[in-house]
Copies of this chain bind each other. A is one copy, B any other.
């Protein structure tokens, strides 16, 4: 399968949430690095590692699922030359509903490969209503 080349971690992240929203398994896996280092922590879950297991976990999630609407808020970035870490709050709605279902806080790690930036780790956990409001920060690149 031909994969899109993502010029920045933000491009890879946009494609990740686009595929997530559309229940698009091929589009989702096209965002990931082809590497058995990759791993995923879904909310309430343990670690799922390697291309085959990560793919199967998304197949299970997308099976029969309703379309979701994501609002990403309060992004916080730690950027290196070869790896980038994004912290994002995911506010999730089911399509057609006005009520927000709940928030998830994700640490998404992207790797710069020979073929552009790729997802290597999303670690997501649910955020309780009592969690402190996030401090607003400005994206900045580390040296």
Contact = CB atoms under 8 A, between A and B. Distances in A.
B87 A134 contact: no
Contacts of A109: 78, 85, 107, 109
A137 to B, nearest CB: 6
A25 interface: no
A91 interface: no
A131 B128 CA distance: 20
A3 interface: no
Interface residues of A toward B: which range?
35 or more
Given A41-B107, A85-B109, A105-B41, A78 B121 contact: yes
B83 A80 contact: yes
A28 interface: no
A2 interface: no
Given A47-B135, A50-B137, 6 more contacts: A41-B107, A46-B134, A47-B105, A49-B137, A82-B142, A83-B85
Contacts of A111: 78, 80, 142
